Amino acid sequence: MVNYTPTENPITNINWRRHRSGCPHYRERWFAQSDLQHGEPMYQVFCGMNTPPSTIEEQEKCLSSRTRCWRLAEAGAKGADNVRIPLSSIKRRRPA
């Protein structure tokens, strides 16, 4: 039985991987031997800013925001001109 609760800091733990084009605070770990029919996760996501993605659109933004958290970028833009990062500008991954 695999323990799905992080026991070490995912930002520094080698079992949690940084996505090459993703946010510097975004980490994920995969479970190759998971049993999906018994409700075991295929992978887990961790956010070092304590703002994990809650939708597919948010996860796409996390995976496309290479230099900083997209939430911080949007919050900074709101203060300037209330400009948001449009989902259409996000480069999506090809479906498998």
User: For the chain, how big is the Rg over CA atoms in Å?
Assistant: 15
Give the total number of structural domains in the chain.
1
Residues of the chain with pLDDT below 50 are none
Q: What pLDDT was estimated at residue 2?
A: 63
- The pLDDT score that the predictor gives to residue 61 is 92
Q: Which domain holds residue 30?
A: 26-88
Q: Is 60 inside any structural domain? A: yes
Q: Which two tokens stand for residue 42?
A: 């295929």
Q: Does residue 18 fall inside a structural domain?
A: no
**Does any domain span residue 96?**
no
Alpha carbon distances (Å) from 94 to 53, 60, 82, 91: 20, 12, 31, 9
Maximum Cα interatomic distance, the chain, rounded to a whole number of Å: 50
* 14 within domain boundaries: no
The verdict on residue 6 lying in a domain is no
